[in-house]
Amino acid sequence: MSISRRQFLESGAAAAAGLAFAHPSGAAAPLDRSVRPLGVTAARPVVIASGNGLRGVQRAYDMIVRERADTLDAIIAGVNIQELDPDDQSVGLGGLPNADGVVQLDASCMHGPTKRAGAVASLEGIATPSLVAKAVMDHTDHVMLVGPGAKRFALDMGFREQNLLTEQSRRDWLRWKACLNPRDNWLDSAGTASSSPRRSSEADRLQVKFTTGTINMNAVNSAGELSSVTTTSGLSWKIPGRVGDSPIVGAGQYCDNDVGAAGSTGRGEAAIKACGSFLIVELMRQGLSPEQACLKTIERVIATTEQRLLDGRGRPLFDLQFYALAKDGRFGAASAYEGGRFAVADAQGARVAPMAFMFRRSERPAMRSTGCAST
């Protein structure tokens, strides 16, 4: 049977739409019919972020309201707070290193009004990858630079190189190495329960830090102009060169000035496979509220997860979080498991709010462990 090109494209689009809205149980989620038409501007400025961005959302909101700053400039200034904080081991200075003890940073950003984006991955020696990503956007015809090329570009742009490995992160890396293999030549490092050649107990080893910490931030101003940014040091102890979702436009963050912005934290590999942030924005375009779009995307992530990362009841052996902001100022966030929190700043002030979730904490299986421990 012959089929025309137009029929083929139409059938493909219908199939893709069906996948995007598929519920693991087969039931379709109801659309939120109360949403405002696209193009309606926000009644007030709003900034949202992952839970570690409380200081950042306040800074970004103040810049947008009091200084009339561009939304992207404001949220990058917001995430810079965490990037330059040596006590925050999930981003920038002091970030936890890869398996070789080297801090490699990732970031991406999008500017809604100009429809532009920039990203860097596996960047070494520069504490503010969010600013380097914006420089890629502002000064090149590219979207992403990686590795040594990204560092050379940053240095050419005037960024200052520095040692990003703080003493605390170095010690945590040594502890991780010490408990990798009971038959290796590493002794348990100072600070563990046992510093003898004998291996410390499993409980002691579980004290070693393992993180997928990241900061995502999204903003809209009173004119309805949107921007998004995500920055991270990535998975701790990762294979050198590993890149998660944070620097990938459409996965770690996405922004469409006609609809909204979204971002993610947690297991980056899961967000990549589902094009999570892009999907959230598209679901909002179709009429879902920000919170509904986040929950629906988590369902989609689970549906695309391989069996080894699911428990016997189909629940993920990892957590992830999504954040969404609509052009009209509505916002929402969701996590796979109960207990997630996100930061928001608007006319009511800066605060931390609970996230919607798919599963209760009591249903949470043992999280997948890499290396010595998982947190």
Which residue numbers are catalytic?
Answer: 214
- Crossing angle (nearest 10°) for helices 147-156 and 129-139: 80
CA 56 to chain centre: 15
Sign of CA dihedral 361, 355, 87, 102: positive
